[in-house]
Amino acid sequence: MENEASLYKSMRLEAIQTEPAMFRCTTPAEADLTDIQWLERVKDPRAVFGLFANDEFVGMTSILLINEEEGYMGQSYIQKEHRGNGLSALFYKTRMAWALDHQLKRLCVSHRESNLISKAANQRFGFHYSHREPCSWLDGTTEDVLYYVLNL
């Protein structure tokens, strides 16, 4: 919700500071965005979902509408102490349900080539390899990003 943009901002900045090897460089850098720009990032055409353990905010993910039929799933992050409990499956299920509710026909997802955990997760949900492209990552390295698609 728009009134929760500050939650999104704090978790996203935590994610890119804690795990810079997992996130791409963006222009402008997210650390330099204004509060108004952060607010715009929780509005249509993006939907952001928070993950809570009881009342504690422990993760987030999003889906970005590419067009009327296709969405891109990204920005997933779960705090380290909550990983390994199958919670990423909730991210996939939630975003896929949202996509079906919005009558999307196709979903895309991507990951850094060496991120085998993300690869396994998207393949468990039926995504198929599409293509790759070079990418600069926040940790200062360059490594291909792999893209996957799922027809709904």
The string of pLDDT tens digits covering residues 65-118 is 999 999 999 999 999 999 988 899 999 999 999 999 999 999 999 999 999 989
Domain span at 78 = 2-151
Residue 13 has pLDDT above 90, yes or no: yes
Domain count, the chain: 1
All residues at 6 or more sequence positions from 123 whose CB lies less than 8 Å from its CB, including other chains: 148
Phi and psi angles of residue 78, each rounded to the nearest 5 degrees, phi first: -130, 130
pTM: predicted TM-score of the whole model, two decimal places: 0.89
List the CATH number of the domain containing 67: 3.40.630.30
> What's the pLDDT band for 20 if we cut at 50, 70, 90?
confident
Instruction: Name 107's bridge partners.
Output: 71, 150
Contact 107, 67 (CB under 8 A): no
pLDDT recorded at residue 86: 86
